[in-house]
Amino acid sequence: MATILIHPDTQSAIRATAERLLQAVQGDHDAVLGLATGGTMEPVYHQLVRRADEARLSFAGVTTFNLDEYVGLAADHPQSYRSTMNRLLFDHVDIPRNQTYLPRGDAQDPSAEAIAYEAAIEAAGGIDLQLLGIGRNGHLGFNEPSSSLASRTRIKKLARSTLEANARFFGAGERMPTHAITMGIGTIMKARKLLMLAMGASKADAVAAALEGPVTAACPASILQFHPDVTVVLDQEAASCLKLRDFYEDIHPGGQEVYFAGNS
Ligand code: GLP
């Protein structure tokens, strides 16, 4: 079973997620981190930058791979995930920029770019810890419902609900991309550890479907049920539709990790 940590409040869920990223780097200065974007992750990166500074933690040996990028946006476009990651994290830690990977949204041949991205992950030895958010429709990265559960990095068309949800990041009159290059579900599943964070009532249905529903391409995040090392960090609202919520809270009171011999 996944480790499901239901926190008493949103701040505590954010801190716990940032702390796990910090510990991954403290435990392995050459860690390969899989990173995510979205509104959920903004406070996580703020907290991570603050904590890394306090702990004087170097990211000089770290390599990162982001989940996805919009097709058609150049790296310097303010809404590209490259710009977002620079602004939120890479500009504030000592990671060499050439160790931070995102698919190039303006690649001449986006399909070739996707294949090369998958190869780069392999060449780096695979991802140690992959950070994940979840879409309201259960997507991971930009793997929209119906994505193959074995998929690798490729181009995906964005669902209408995703376009609506992400329109807030784009200015009025600004054309929002309709496609993305995203790691596949199969790519994500190869990461040695997964760490998913969901906050707020708008994620409650997707979280319940992912953790307690059938494993199905209709809810791509449901594949997490097949991963051997996944931690899900939730706030109260995001946990509000879980049928087994009491049980998860009994195992991890207040979202704290408690280890038992034989706990699985
Ligand atoms: C985006 C990203 C996902 C993210 C999700 C939720 O479209 N591609 O990686 O997890 O949608 O975003 P938010 O945190 O803004 O709700």
How many domains, the chain? 1
Q: What is the pLDDT of residues 1-59, one digit of tens each?
A: 799 999 999 999 999 999 999 999 999 999 999 999 999 999 999 999 999 999 999 99
Residue at 262 is within a domain: no
Residue at 117 is within a domain: yes
The CATH number linked to 153 is 3.40.50.1360
Distance (Å, rounded) from C-alpha 130 to C-alpha 168? 25
How remote is the CA of residue 217 from the centroid of ligand 1, in Å?
18
Confidence check: pLDDT of 263 > 80: no
Q: What is the pLDDT of residues 226-254, one digit of tens each?
A: 999 999 999 999 999 999 999 999 999 99
**For the CA of 37, the nearest atom of ligand 1:** 9
Residues with CB under 6 A from ligand 1: 36-40, 67-68, 133-135, 141-142, 162, 166
Question: SS3 for 139?
Answer: coil
Distance (Å, rounded) from C-alpha 94 to C-alpha 86? 12
Residue at 47 is within a domain: yes
Domain that holds residue 167: 3-254
- From atom 12 of ligand 1, which residue's Cα is the shortest distance away? 38
Q: Which residues are catalytic?
A: 68, 137, 139, 144
H helix intervals, the chain: 10-27, 42-54, 81-88, 110-123, 160-166, 185-189, 204-212, 245-251
**For the CA of 142, the nearest atom of ligand 1:** 8
Residue at 196 is within a domain: yes
Residue at 260 is within a domain: no
